[in-house]
Every structure is written in structure tokens, then in C-alpha cells.
């Protein structure tokens, strides 16, 4: 049986992180349920020049789910517990707030809430700067509830030379949090 991951892409800047995660996870033959918000599709186009049809053609094995499909199996705890984890990358501050306060406006919010209640690993790759007090309080609230808040902040000890190496560092940290082995970046003091 394939390992499964839910990957959600919201409208925060940083669509490259969700796209790169999709590349890496599919290359590892993981089963991916992909939920992209309507704003996420806009940002994928604005930042990467990717339209929905092109993305889905590039990743034919991905199960694309509409953010409006709140009856989808991944909205249920009895099904979500079969997954390695839920990753929201990038995670908008609006999505963070909905998850922190248990309000559901779409499937991404619902999946985040269900992951918390079922103790399925939930990673929120937040992409904003600077953080307001409200942002920080919401991050603390979801962290206390069991989520992993991972800022899109690359390290530099591996001496990156390209934008791709910076992106891969952050994506590698997401994979580390899911305990998925990879070689996207050189670890601290690794030869």
C-alpha cells in the first residue's frame, strides 16, 4: 500500500514550496491528495506561470480535490488517519487563523482541523513577514494543539548557491518533520 500525504496550497506567496513538494513527493511514489485553494491557483499562475491544467498534466498520478468538496474522504477523521501527514505549503495567515479557531470555510480548513483532532501530523509552512501579534498567537494556538509551524526560512550553513537550493532546504525541513528520508540539502557538518 502506498503511503499517502495530503498537500494543500493556499494563496500565500511562496507557491514554489508547494510545487517543489509536489515534485519531490510524487518522485518518491507517495500517493498525494492535492487541494489548492482558488487563491492558490492564482498565486501558482502569478509566481510560477502554472495553470491548473498544466499542473495536473505534469502530475497525472495526483488526486486533485476541490477546496469545495467538503464531503471528500479526507474531510473525515476515519480516513485521514490513514495518511502520513497533512502539509499546507504555503499556508496563508487566513488559513492559519481558520485552523487555529476551528472555523471551516473550505476543505483545507477542514482537513487541518481534522488532522489536529486525530493527531495526524499537520505542517503549516507559513510564509509571511513580519508576523503580527495575531499571527504569532495563532501559531502558538495551533502549535499547542499539535501542529508543526514551519516558517519558510532557509538555513545557510549548507552554503546555497541557487534559489533552488534555498527552496530545497525548506522543502527538506518539511520532509524531515514527516520523517521522510531525502537528500535535498546537506545536513549540519555533513561531508
Q: What is the 3-state secondary structure (H, E, C) of 20-71?
A: HHHHHHHHCCCEEEEEECHHHHHHHHHHHCCCHHHHHHHCCCCEEEECCCCC
- In degrees and rounded to multiples of 5, residue 6 shows phi and psi of -95, 125
pLDDT tens, residue by residue, 48-99: 999 999 999 999 999 999 999 999 999 999 999 999 999 999 999 999 999 9
pLDDT tens figures, 20-33: 999 999 999 999 99
Q: Is 101 among the domain residues? A: yes
Q: For residue 141, is it within any domain? A: yes
What is the share, in percent, of the chain residues with pLDDT greater than 70?
Answer: 98
CATH number for the domain spanning 52: value is: 3.40.50.1950
Is residue 39 a part of any domain in this protein? Answer: yes
Is the pLDDT higher at 158 or at 7? Answer: 7
Beta-carbon contacts of 45 under 8 Å, excluding residues fewer than 6 positions away, are 51
pLDDT of residue 191: 65
183 falls within a domain:
no
pTM: 0.95
Number of domains present in the structure of the chain = 1
Q: How many CB atoms lie within 10 A of CB 136?
A: 12
**156 is in which domain, residue-wise?**
4-177
pLDDT at 186: 77
184 domain-assigned:
no
What are phi and psi for residue 9, nearest 5 degrees?
-120, 120
The answer to whether position 190 is within a domain reads no
- The set of residues, in sequence order, having a beta carbon less than 8 Å from that of 4 and lying 6+ positions away, is 30, 31, 32, 33, 82, 83, 84
Q: What pLDDT is stored for residue 190 in this prediction?
A: 67
DSSP string, 72-129: SGGGSHHHHTTSSEEEEEEE-HHHHHHHHHT--SSHHHHHHHHHHHHT--EEEEE--S
- Residue 186 falls inside a structural domain: no
| In a domain? residue 182 | no
Q: DSSP character for 186?
A: P
What pLDDT was estimated at residue 138?
98
Amino acid at each position: 500500500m502506498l503511503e499517502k500525504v495530503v498537500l494543500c496550497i493556499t494563496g500565500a506567496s511562496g507557491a514554489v514550496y508547494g510545487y517543489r513538494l509536489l515534485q519531490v513527493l510524487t518522485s518518491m511514489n507517495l500517493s498525494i491528495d492535492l487541494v489548492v485553494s482558488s487563491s492558490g491557483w492564482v498565486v501558482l499562475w502569478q509566481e510560477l506561470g502554472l495553470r491548473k491544467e498544466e499542473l495536473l498534466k505534469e502530475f497525472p498520478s495526483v488526486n486533485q480535490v476541490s477546496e469545495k468538496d467538503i464531503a471528500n474522504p479526507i474531510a473525515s477523521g476515519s480516513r485521514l488517519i490513514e495518511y502520513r501527514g497533512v502539509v499546507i505549503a504555503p499556508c496563508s495567515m487566513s488559513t492559519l487563523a481558520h485552523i487555529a479557531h476551528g472555523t471551516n470555510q473550505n476543505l483545507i480548513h477542514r482537513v487541518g482541523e481534522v488532522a489536529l483532532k486525530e493527531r495526524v501530523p499537520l505542517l503549516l509552512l507559513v510564509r509571511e513577514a513580519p508576523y503580527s501579534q495575531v499571527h504569532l498567537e495563532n501559531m502558538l494556538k495551533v502549535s499547542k494543539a499539535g501542529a508543526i509551524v514551519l516558517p519558510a526560512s532557509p538555513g545557510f550553513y549548507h552554503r546555497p548557491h541557487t534559489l533552488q537550493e534555498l527552496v530545497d532546504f525548506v522543502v527538506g525541513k518539511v520532509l524531515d518533520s514527516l520523517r521522510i528520508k531525502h537528500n535535498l540539502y546537506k545536513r549540519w557538518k555533513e561531508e
